[in-house]
Chains A and B, each alone.
With several copies, the nearest count.
Chain A
């Protein structure tokens, strides 16, 4: 019972951390202090959180250009992430990667990836390591609806089936790849159905419903962990913001944009469900909101104050030895 409650609170904290992280970057980005492109995950928090809940540090995930949520869900240090996004030397990647390349191998985070379709081949490699070494490790690939059309993604699914790799392909269908609708760009009936044609179990779930994703992910990850091969999950949830910060989003109707947070907010939906249950109170959740806020506050503060790398760092870490 207590453990149930803790699990719910943990899940909420993760989701809320992602939301707060992204909302805050949305604001801070306007100051001009954050270099380069940022792609926010707000709206999709339930997906990363519910999937990564079933993973250990020794399991791996591969992510996308929209990687903050996956990173937080997998346990990356929030201060290190924020510092990285600000291009600071104490960032998770020493300031060399930035938002699109956050990685933390200690936490099994194989990296955000700025190439659409870039991570699935890498993720099957992590799964191959588990298979060859005979561990019970699992690897999870997160891809968007847009990335689901990329050749690399298809190849990875087939190879995973052929080699029966312990891998799960998560397709986050947020309706758009940049400014192009998924209903236009995906020729198939659904991403899940197309994946199923590759010979792996595939389901479509409501990505705003933490519990729906959790159940599907549990089954798929368990399948992988017990040597029963790969699976795919299509989780549908819209992003709250533009493709990148600054995107005017003319490809979305005003109606869609206003409805988003009313009907598609996974945090609200989660709250409604758990507050109706008996373990968790509104006060518990409100308290987490406060705590998360202060965590993000101090992460931003620290990141802003941290030092940039210096010219000397330019030439290091290209090779292990050269």
Chain B
């Protein structure tokens, strides 16, 4: 096993699946880069470098640079998926969903149901999420709560490199449309990642840390914030169980409910939205199906109901931090 960053793990996954199946293709803006103009091809290899080198191995017929035209990209991916390819389309920042959402939520997501089960749409949309890079209101959102609410879509958000590889391989092999959310701040996050190919099934939460006083459910980068908080709390004698559902749709309800049964207390840490977000979703789930286990209120730690601000002190205050999680836990235990 070698240490790999999430960026490398994703590149691994893409390369291995493209070798395995000629129908796997990649399309998006600057997934190679350098078409037209005077320079070299693969100048970018993806705006964040994830698809670097793939055009060299698989050629421009399978690693396809497109104009800036997200509806056409997402629609082309959906149409190609429905007719025999397994496209991986890149939506550079999830914030751009507003110019192409129809092709995702009304078309790709609904094909199978609308058409009475007679079609499959095995496409993956890779996109980036998350605040913390000072990229302000239109380049820092998470938005996966919106996708999670759409029947027909699957939503995946790895928090580490091992999961990133296994979940992306699973996503590519999956026969339904999958949105794969990559947190921009985690690309350089590294851990042991096998060189060989492996898939991690959807709907199986990862219990990142076991504990018995309180359950924290967290998503994507917030898993690391939760772990940090858990460490602080451990030093105070509070034992925290941290759960990373890894996929929000399907969601591993069981693992969450079992944990709350054990701890009786739940904090959800989520960056997506203060209203109708993933934190509310998990809280609602437990308030219905796990109510009898609850010893106290369910605390949601989310950003405030504001756009993402640009200025560093504001953005730092916007994102849930270990300190706000710890404070939330204290509030709960009081």
Contacts and interface: CB of A to CB of B under 8 A. Distances in A.
Given A180-B36, A255-B38, A319 B176 contact: yes
Interface residues of B, number: 85
Interface stretch (B40-48, B210-218, B276-284): B40-48
B68 A129 contact: no
Interface in A139-186: 139, 146-147, 149-152, 155-156, 158-159, 162-163, 175-186
- Interface-central residue, B76, B120, B314, by most chain A CB under 10 Å: B76
A132 B61 contact: yes
B80 A128 contact: yes
Interface string A244-261: 000011111101100000
Contacts of B133: 36
A101 to B, nearest CB: 4
B290 interface: no
A185 B174 CA distance: 31
A124 B112 contact: no
B310 A314 contact: no
Contacts of A221: none
Given A180-B67, A314-B318, A122 B78 contact: yes
A149 B68 contact: yes
A43 interface: no
Interface in A110-136: 110-111, 113-118, 120-129, 131-133
Contact of A123 (B30, B79, B134): B79
Nearest to B153: A319
Contact of A121 (B76, B134, B135): B76
B67 A98 contact: no
B317 A125 contact: no
- Interface-central residue, A111, A152, A187, by most chain B CB under 10 Å: A152
Nearest to A159: B72
B305 A103 contact: no
Contacts of B64: 128, 163
| Chain B interface mostly | loop
B44 A179 contact: yes
A93 B75 contact: no
Contact of A96 (B67, B77, B84, B314): B314
B28 to A, nearest CB: 11
Nearest to A122: B79
A92 interface: yes
A60 B107 CA distance: 16
Nearest to B308: A96
Interface in B124-162: 133-139, 151-152, 154
Contacts of A311: 313-314, 317
A93 B78 contact: no
B254 to A, nearest CB: 14
- Interface-central residue, B30, B36, B78, B116, by most chain A CB under 10 Å: B116
A181 B35 contact: yes
B78 A121 contact: yes
B69 A158 contact: yes
Nearest to B106: A115
Contact of B306 (A62, A251, A315): A315
A216 B119 CA distance: 32
Interface string A18-42: 0000000000000000011100000
Interface string B160-177: 000000000000001110
Nearest to A91: B116
B67 A122 contact: no
Contacts of A123: 79
B43 to A, nearest CB: 4
A320 B77 CA distance: 18
- Interface-central residue, A93, A105, A147, by most chain B CB under 10 Å: A93
A283 interface: no
Contact of B67 (A118, A128, A146, A256): A146
A235 interface: no
A318 B307 contact: yes
A211 interface: no
B34 A314 contact: no
A98 B95 CA distance: 17
A62 B79 contact: yes
A4 to B, nearest CB: 33
Contact of B79 (A114, A115, A124, A318): A124
B98 interface: yes
A96 B116 contact: yes
B83 interface: yes
B237 interface: no
Contact of A111 (B35, B114, B311): B114
A312 to B, nearest CB: 9
Nearest to B123: A125
A182 B67 CA distance: 9
A250 B85 CA distance: 31
A227 B310 CA distance: 39
B99 A150 contact: yes
Interface of B: 23, 25, 27, 29-30, 33-40, 43-44, 47, 61-62, 64-69, 71-85, 87, 95-96, 98-99, 102-103, 106-107, 111-120, 133-139, 151-152, 154, 174-176, 203, 250, 304-307, 309-314, 317-318
19 contacts: A93-B115, A98-B310, A110-B79, A115-B95, A115-B99, A115-B138, A118-B103, A122-B107, A123-B79, A129-B83, A179-B39, A180-B33, A183-B36, A251-B38, A251-B39, A252-B37, A314-B309, A315-B306, A322-B203
